[in-house]
Amino acid sequence: MILLISPEQTTPDEIETLHHLFEVGLAHYHFRKPEASLDEHITYLNRVDAQYHNRIMTHNYHEELCKKFDLRGVHLEEAKWRAQETRLEGYVSAFAKANKKVSSSYHELEDLEAQSVTFDYTILSPVFAAISKSDMQGRGFDVRASEKCIVGMGGINAVTTPEAVALGFKGVGALGGIWNAQNPVAAFVEMQEAFKEANT
């Protein structure tokens, strides 16, 4: 699987580019706008063609947005799943019962492996030096021994995708590797091809 995280700040041509990305096969879009209000989230989703809503995982306003739109599911960033404490299992199962996918983020492999709550997939970062954050150094996590569905993020593009697959990642996630490219759609297609080739 290949997932793409939205830019934190919405750009003028973002929705148009997103539609093109969906058209060429983007199946997992992580909608993350940490500074946006609920109304701004709703306005954004209303601009996205409804046929693609079931490919979107929201990072914020889980209950509100899943009630209003037929989203794929919800994502719990590390601070959010930690804040749930003993309520986490119930929180995850409530969305699972509603046929929503639930994913989460980690920055330490040990924490990921120690998690007893089952997520559909987990994001582990940073695998390589991040493209969108110049100060974030890669950790080169090796997850070949893990039985969990782990998606690698941080410094992922078409060039580093095969390296991530070789480290045992079942999927790869991008942000800067796509959005910072001169042609985001072409960069995504290259990444798709690299992922497919690395898994054959």
pLDDT of residue 95: 97
Mean pLDDT for the stretch of residues 94-114: 96
pLDDT of residue 134: 60
- What's the mean per-residue pLDDT of the chain? 95
Mean pLDDT for the stretch of residues 85-99: 96
The pLDDT-based confidence of 72 (bands split at 50, 70, 90) is: very high
Q: What is the pLDDT of residues 133-174, one digit of tens each?
A: 566 678 889 999 999 999 999 999 999 999 999 999 999 999
pLDDT of residue 138: 84
Q: What is the pLDDT of residues 173-183, one digit of tens each?
A: 999 999 999 99
Query: Whole-prediction pTM value?
Result: 0.94
Distance CA 86, CA 84 (A): 6
pLDDT above 90: residue 128: yes
* Strand 28-31 to 56-58 pairing: parallel
Six token digits for residue 90: 């119930």
